[in-house]
Amino acid sequence: MPRIVGANPRQQGRLSGLFTRIVYSMAKRKLGKIVAPVQITAHHPKILWGYGQMEQSLAGSHLAPSHLKHLAELRVATLVGCPF
């Protein structure tokens, strides 16, 4: 069992819970499941919002070719031991 349990949208406020549900559904659609970093970050909706903005801006950045971005993601995932 993890030391920090992920956020439950039903236990959050009305707006925060809705935002968390939306983020969870997007993560599930993209990755197939809701990963622990997203669940932990959901405890603080403002940080989760900033995290989402960063992910969107990285995905929309056209400064580097897409194959180079994928190669960098693979290398970083290998370095930190991430299965994604």
Task: State the DSSP code for 50.
Answer: H
8 Å CB contact between 37 and 3:
no
8 Å CB contact between 20 and 42:
yes
Give domain status of residue 2, yes or no: no
Q: Quick count: other Cβ atoms within 10 Å of Cβ 4?
A: 9
Structural domain for 61, as ranges: 9-80
In the chain, how many domains are there? Answer: 1
Q: Token digits for 7? A: 């956020």
Q: Tell me the whole-structure pTM to 2 decimals.
A: 0.64
Give domain status of residue 4, yes or no: no
Q: Token digits for 82? A: 């991430």
Q: φ, ψ for residue 80 (rounded to 5)?
A: -95, -5
SS3 of residue 72 by DSSP: helix
Mean pLDDT of 23-29: 87
Instruction: Report pLDDT digits (tens) over 36-60.
Output: 888 888 888 899 899 889 888 887 8
Instruction: Report pLDDT digits (tens) over 4-21.
Output: 887 887 777 788 888 888
- The secondary element (H helix, E strand) that includes residue 23 is helix 14-31
Give domain status of residue 3, yes or no: no
